Amino acid sequence: MKYADFYQRSIVTPEQFWQDESALITWDTPCMQVLDYSHPPFARWFVGGRTNLCHNAVDRWCATQGDKAALIAISTETNTERTYSFNELQAEVERCAAVMLALGVGRGDRVLIYMPMIAEAAFAMLACARIGAIHSVVFGGFAANSLASRIDDARPVLIVSADAGSRNGKAIPYKHLLDEAIALSSARPAKVLLVDRGLAAMELVAGRDEDYASLRAAHLDARVPVTWLESNEPSYILYTSGTTGKPKGVQRDVGGYAVALASSMKYNFCGKAGETFFATSDIGWVVGHSYIVYGPLIAGMATIMYEGVPVCPDPGIWWSIVEKYKVTRMFSAPTAIRVLRKHPPEFMRKYDLSSLRALYLAGEPLDETTSEWIAGELGVPIIDNYWQTETGWPILSIAKGVEDLPTRFGSPGVAMYGYQVKLLNESTGEECGANEKGVVVIEGPLPPGCMQTVYGDDRRFVDTYWSTFSGRQVYSTFDWGVRDADGYYFILGRTDDVINVAGHRLGTREIEESISSHANVSEVAVVGVEDKLKGQVAVAFVIVRHGEQIAAEAGRAALEREILGVVDHQLGAVARPARVYFVPQLPKTRSGKLLRRSIQAVCEGRNPGDLTAIEDPASLQQIQHVLQDCVSK
């Protein structure tokens, strides 16, 4: 089948297209109406149909592959591994569901999950889905203030947490942060359910805090039937990272999400029941929801839940997992691959990776150098994809399950089925032609699986996402992009990360790509810094491949000139950074995203904001020191 025809059918006849796709999941009651778009931009999919995420992820597979692996929980932090079959996973989820019911959780109630990457976190998510509760997962270790704002917004009746997570062999206590957050919030949960891993001491609050192990033991033989939900009932709330002020909760439905995940696992990720999927993200992010917990299980695959870092106990750990569990599809981030590239390839080459069919990357722009290196090492397709917390599954990619189209370096691919992607001129709102830069937008209705609204605030949903262009109601991704003549998109960076230099608008991605092409550049972050004369100037922070070149002041100056010359040649003098600083590491979140806004704040002498999710606080301090050293000189 030609992908162009497949895509066109999804756009021209969306109701028939998604009616066909809905057969990929199990329904207790078929829908009465595939799409209700009578109140745009709010789309309701599979109206009247009743289904359940947990049933589709777990129960329906027990009859045909109950003894096969479903959840593989691995922690290199605690040196533990446990494989749960579909039968065992169903039993654990029913026990967790019974515990929740005993603690007063009911259909439509919110349950906040603040946990490390352990099996119990997946049990809790699936148990909520089973009984019709709405889960809200908050990244483990988030600061008390950030957690409190989410508690206030979701108003959970139960919080599920643990004594601690672990990172690089160091325990990260959660309980004191949770207690502080509850004290700060106005919405006090009736109960807190705690998994005690024995990593950190914690004081229990009498009458509120409950021990998970004890309650699980009391419900070992529990049988909890699934609660069939109307397709448009909320399944979960996921707060977008980096929010300030009142948090923005992305609200997802049940039926549309299940169909979208089943469809994407078939066409995008080519997953097959009985195989193994390994996504290296965290359940605190959308990738963890869609492609650690729900997506692979809905496809009947075993899914790996990994607690640890990619270089500990050594940089071969991920590849040892691929070999041991015969991983067929792997999903990671370009940043993680760049980290692994710094280490000898022998750590990868000593493992049998013949089971692996493809590596999918998302979260950050994928540069050509990184893509070529990992493709050469693995000998499998490297498939980029672009999407957002708000969409729940890829907007741009290559759907090799439909047609084996070629990938293009620097591009996440073409518009995925169901998404009417367009590029609009920021000033006029008119559609851009080939190779013209514009804002990436999506015409309504959004396809199944995308956000329904901002939780508790429909007005904010409209104002934030659908009101960018006057007189035209389109969903804005807030990303710049270009599209070539063949329909391949290239993402240039956030519209709010655009650098305005003397009236010229430049995407940070364009400058970063140019600098990355220098042979001695390993990683780079470009930010716009306030300048009295030009409005803003670009400033680059670079990690080099060969440190000896910058050991002396003369070497640093020479390399800076070389890099500036590359930018001059490729993009012109207007894009030339005002300075290039050399640093040993760049500040990133634990999921691998560069903290560009924090870097910008440090450059401008402002507070860098909430750094709860930062991988290593020393990385931002090193940037401060480099800036101070330059000022003193």
Three-class DSSP category at 103: coil
- pLDDT tens digits, one per residue of 4-46: 999 999 999 999 999 999 999 999 999 999 999 999 999 999 9
How far apart are the C-alpha atoms of 155 and 38, rounded to whole Å?
30
Question: HSE-up of 547 (CA within 13 Å, CB side)?
Answer: 4
pLDDT, residue 504, reads 66
pLDDT, residue 243, reads 34
How far apart are the C-alpha atoms of 492 and 496, rounded to whole Å?
11
How far apart are the C-alpha atoms of 76 and 128, rounded to whole Å?
27
- Tokens 């500040």 correspond to 587
How far apart are the C-alpha atoms of 553 and 87, rounded to whole Å?
63
- pLDDT tens digits, one per residue of 328-360: 999 999 888 988 988 999 999 999 999 999 999
Cβ atoms of 108 and 134 closer than 8 Å = yes
pLDDT, residue 389, reads 93
How far apart are the C-alpha atoms of 206 and 215, rounded to whole Å?
15
Is 90 exceeded by the pLDDT of residue 141? Answer: no
How far, rounded to the nearest angstrom, does the alpha carbon of residue 436 sit from its chain's CA centroid?
Answer: 28
Question: What value does the mean pLDDT take over residues 307-323?
Answer: 95
pLDDT-derived band at 168, boundaries 50, 70, 90: confident
Burial of 428: CB neighbours in 10 Å, binned 0-12, 13-18, 19+? exposed
How far, rounded to the nearest angstrom, does the alpha carbon of residue 8 sit from its chain's CA centroid?
Answer: 28
Is 70 exceeded by the pLDDT of residue 242? Answer: no
Q: What percent of the chain has pLDDT over 70?
A: 98
pLDDT-derived band at 507, boundaries 50, 70, 90: confident
pLDDT, residue 244, reads 41
Question: What value does the mean pLDDT take over residues 403-412?
Answer: 92
pLDDT, residue 142, reads 78
Question: What value does the mean pLDDT take over residues 108-124?
Answer: 98
Is 50 exceeded by the pLDDT of residue 57? Answer: yes
Cβ atoms of 144 and 181 closer than 8 Å = yes
Question: What value does the mean pLDDT take over residues 54-81?
Answer: 97
pLDDT, residue 503, reads 62
Q: Token digits for 304?
A: 């790996």
Count of Cβ atoms closer than 10 Å to residue 486 Cβ: 11
Cβ atoms of 319 and 344 closer than 8 Å = no
Count of Cβ atoms closer than 10 Å to residue 617 Cβ: 11
Which residue segments constitute the domains of the chain, with CATH numbers given?
Answer: 3-242+250-308+385-477 (3.40.50.12780), 498-632 (3.30.300.30)
How far apart are the C-alpha atoms of 545 and 559, rounded to whole Å?
12
Three-class DSSP category at 322: helix
Question: What value does the mean pLDDT take over residues 108-116?
Answer: 98
How far apart are the C-alpha atoms of 380 and 329, rounded to whole Å?
10
Question: What are the distances in angstroms from CA 193 to CA 122, 133, 134, 187, 207?
Answer: 14, 15, 16, 16, 11
Q: Token digits for 476?
A: 């804005």
**Integer-rounded Cα radius of gyration of the chain:** 24
- Tokens 């643990």 correspond to 162
How far apart are the C-alpha atoms of 539 and 527, rounded to whole Å?
6
Round the average pLDDT of the chain to a whole number and report it.
93
Question: HSE-up of 316 (CA within 13 Å, CB side)?
Answer: 13
How far apart are the C-alpha atoms of 128 and 106, rounded to whole Å?
9
pLDDT, residue 427, reads 84
- What DSSP element (H or E) covers 345? none
What is the model's pTM? 0.87
> Angle at CA 207, nearest 5°, toward 206 and 209?
75
- pLDDT tens digits, one per residue of 350-389: 999 999 999 999 987 787 888 889 999 999 999 999 999 9
- pLDDT tens digits, one per residue of 419-474: 999 999 988 899 999 999 999 999 999 999 999 999 999 999 999 999 999 889 99
Go through 280-290 and write b for each residue having 16 or more CB atoms within 10 A of its CB, e for each that does not: bbbbbbbbbbb
Is 80 exceeded by the pLDDT of residue 499? Answer: no
Per DSSP, 23 falls in state: G
Q: Which of 269-278, 327-336, 564-573 has the highest mean pLDDT?
A: 269-278
Question: What are the distances in angstroms from CA 168 to CA 114, 172, 276, 595?
Answer: 19, 10, 26, 20
pLDDT, residue 241, reads 52
pLDDT, residue 30, reads 97
Is 80 exceeded by the pLDDT of residue 283? Answer: yes
Give the type of residue at 455: Y
Cβ atoms of 563 and 540 closer than 8 Å = yes
Is 60 exceeded by the pLDDT of residue 583? Answer: yes
pLDDT-derived band at 531, boundaries 50, 70, 90: confident
Question: What value does the mean pLDDT take over residues 142-162?
Answer: 92
pLDDT, residue 287, reads 95
pLDDT-derived band at 521, boundaries 50, 70, 90: very high
pLDDT, residue 393, reads 98
Handedness of CA 286, 287, 289, 294 (dihedral sign): positive
Cβ atoms of 380 and 389 closer than 8 Å = no
Q: Token digits for 333?
A: 């981030």
Is 80 exceeded by the pLDDT of residue 489? Answer: yes
pLDDT, residue 536, reads 84
pLDDT, residue 413, reads 96
Contacts of 385 (CB under 8 A, 6+ apart): 268, 360, 361, 362, 394, 396, 397, 412, 413
How far apart are the C-alpha atoms of 136 and 248, rounded to whole Å?
12
Q: Where are the alpha helices (DSSP H) in 356-418?
A: 368-378
Is 90 exceeded by the pLDDT of residue 611? Answer: no
pLDDT, residue 502, reads 63
pLDDT, residue 218, reads 98
Contacts of 428 (CB under 8 A, 6+ apart): none
Q: Where are the alpha helices (DSSP H) in 299-345?
A: 317-325, 334-341
- Tokens 């005690």 correspond to 196
For residue 313, whether the previous peptide bond is cis, meaning omega lies within 30 degrees of 0, is yes
Q: Which of 129-138, 569-578, 604-613 has the highest mean pLDDT?
A: 129-138
Cβ atoms of 333 and 318 closer than 8 Å = no
Cβ atoms of 454 and 249 closer than 8 Å = yes
Is 80 exceeded by the pLDDT of residue 500? Answer: no
Closest CA to 111 of 135, 130, 140: 135
How far apart are the C-alpha atoms of 394 and 419, rounded to whole Å?
9
Q: Where are the alpha helices (DSSP H) in 489-595?
A: 508-516, 553-571
Cβ atoms of 359 and 381 closer than 8 Å = yes
State the angle between helix axes of 3-12 and 14-21 in degrees (0 to 180), rounded to the nearest 10.
110
Contacts of 155 (CB under 8 A, 6+ apart): 110, 187
Q: Token digits for 140?
A: 């483990």
pLDDT, residue 633, reads 57
For residue 310, whether the previous peptide bond is cis, meaning omega lies within 30 degrees of 0, is no
Give the type of residue at 326: K
Question: What are the distances in angstroms from CA 327 to CA 71, 274, 321, 432?
Answer: 13, 11, 8, 41
Q: Which of 244-253, 461-470, 597-606 has the highest mean pLDDT?
A: 461-470
Label each residue of 106-158 as H, E or C. Answer: CCCCEEEEECCCCHHHHHHHHHHHHHCCEEEECCCCCCHHHHHHHHHHHCCCE
